[in-house]
Amino acid sequence: MKNLLVLSMKGCPYCEQLKDLLDEGSVSYTEIDIDNFTSEYDMFKKITNSDYLPGFMIIDEETRTLECYAAEQDFFTIEEAFNMSKKLLES
Protein backbone atom coordinates (compact mmCIF):
# COMPACT_ATOMS: atom_id res chain seq x y z
CA MET A 1 0.00 0.00 0.00
CA LYS A 2 1.22 3.48 -0.86
CA ASN A 3 0.52 6.64 1.10
CA LEU A 4 0.66 10.23 -0.11
CA LEU A 5 1.96 12.93 2.20
CA VAL A 6 1.53 16.52 1.05
CA LEU A 7 3.86 19.12 2.56
CA SER A 8 2.20 22.49 2.84
CA MET A 9 2.06 25.63 4.92
CA LYS A 10 -0.65 28.05 5.94
CA GLY A 11 -1.15 30.86 3.45
CA CYS A 12 0.37 28.97 0.51
CA PRO A 13 -2.09 29.29 -2.39
CA TYR A 14 -0.34 26.58 -4.44
CA CYS A 15 -0.58 24.18 -1.51
CA GLU A 16 -4.31 24.86 -1.24
CA GLN A 17 -4.75 24.33 -4.99
CA LEU A 18 -3.03 20.94 -4.85
CA LYS A 19 -5.08 19.82 -1.85
CA ASP A 20 -8.27 20.99 -3.59
CA LEU A 21 -7.42 18.96 -6.72
CA LEU A 22 -6.64 15.90 -4.61
CA ASP A 23 -9.94 16.28 -2.74
CA GLU A 24 -11.88 16.76 -5.99
CA GLY A 25 -10.17 13.70 -7.47
CA SER A 26 -10.91 11.62 -4.35
CA VAL A 27 -7.19 11.00 -3.82
CA SER A 28 -6.41 10.13 -0.22
CA TYR A 29 -3.52 12.02 1.39
CA THR A 30 -2.16 13.18 4.70
CA GLU A 31 -1.26 16.84 5.06
CA ILE A 32 2.08 17.68 6.66
CA ASP A 33 2.00 21.30 7.83
CA ILE A 34 5.65 22.33 7.85
CA ASP A 35 5.09 24.69 10.77
CA ASN A 36 4.07 21.72 12.94
CA PHE A 37 6.33 19.06 11.42
CA THR A 38 9.68 20.79 11.11
CA SER A 39 11.79 17.62 11.27
CA GLU A 40 9.84 16.06 8.39
CA TYR A 41 10.27 19.26 6.38
CA ASP A 42 14.00 19.33 7.16
CA MET A 43 14.28 15.74 5.92
CA PHE A 44 12.35 16.65 2.74
CA LYS A 45 14.64 19.63 2.08
CA LYS A 46 17.73 17.49 2.59
CA ILE A 47 16.53 14.77 0.20
CA THR A 48 15.29 17.13 -2.53
CA ASN A 49 17.70 20.04 -2.06
CA SER A 50 14.61 22.24 -2.33
CA ASP A 51 12.46 24.25 0.02
CA TYR A 52 9.71 25.01 -2.49
CA LEU A 53 6.14 24.07 -1.67
CA PRO A 54 3.97 22.25 -2.18
CA GLY A 55 5.94 19.09 -2.10
CA PHE A 56 4.87 15.53 -1.62
CA MET A 57 6.18 12.19 -0.52
CA ILE A 58 5.07 8.71 -1.48
CA ILE A 59 5.59 6.05 1.16
CA ASP A 60 5.39 2.48 -0.07
CA GLU A 61 4.69 0.29 2.94
CA GLU A 62 5.29 -2.91 0.98
CA THR A 63 8.80 -2.03 -0.19
CA ARG A 64 9.49 0.31 2.74
CA THR A 65 10.61 3.10 0.43
CA LEU A 66 10.12 6.84 0.48
CA GLU A 67 10.15 9.04 -2.62
CA CYS A 68 10.11 12.84 -2.44
CA TYR A 69 8.94 15.27 -5.11
CA ALA A 70 9.50 19.03 -5.05
CA ALA A 71 7.94 21.98 -6.87
CA GLU A 72 10.09 23.65 -9.52
CA GLN A 73 12.19 20.50 -9.68
CA ASP A 74 9.97 17.45 -10.24
CA PHE A 75 6.85 19.31 -11.35
CA PHE A 76 6.16 22.85 -12.52
CA THR A 77 2.39 23.17 -12.26
CA ILE A 78 -0.15 22.09 -9.69
CA GLU A 79 -1.82 19.95 -12.35
CA GLU A 80 1.48 18.15 -12.94
CA ALA A 81 1.82 17.53 -9.19
CA PHE A 82 -1.72 16.15 -9.05
CA ASN A 83 -1.27 13.88 -12.07
CA MET A 84 2.15 12.70 -10.89
CA SER A 85 0.97 11.89 -7.36
CA LYS A 86 -2.10 10.05 -8.65
CA LYS A 87 -0.04 8.01 -11.14
CA LEU A 88 2.58 7.13 -8.51
CA LEU A 89 -0.09 5.95 -6.09
CA GLU A 90 -1.60 3.72 -8.77
CA SER A 91 1.67 2.16 -9.94
pTM of the model: 0.92
The DSSP line for 19-55 is HHHHHHTT---EEEETTT-HHHHHHHHHHHT---SSE
Listed residue (50, 40, 41) closest to 70, CA to CA: 50
Strand partners, 22: none
pLDDT tens per residue, the chain (91 residues)? Answer: 999 999 999 999 999 999 999 999 999 999 999 999 999 999 999 999 999 999 999 999 999 999 999 999 999 999 999 999 999 999 8
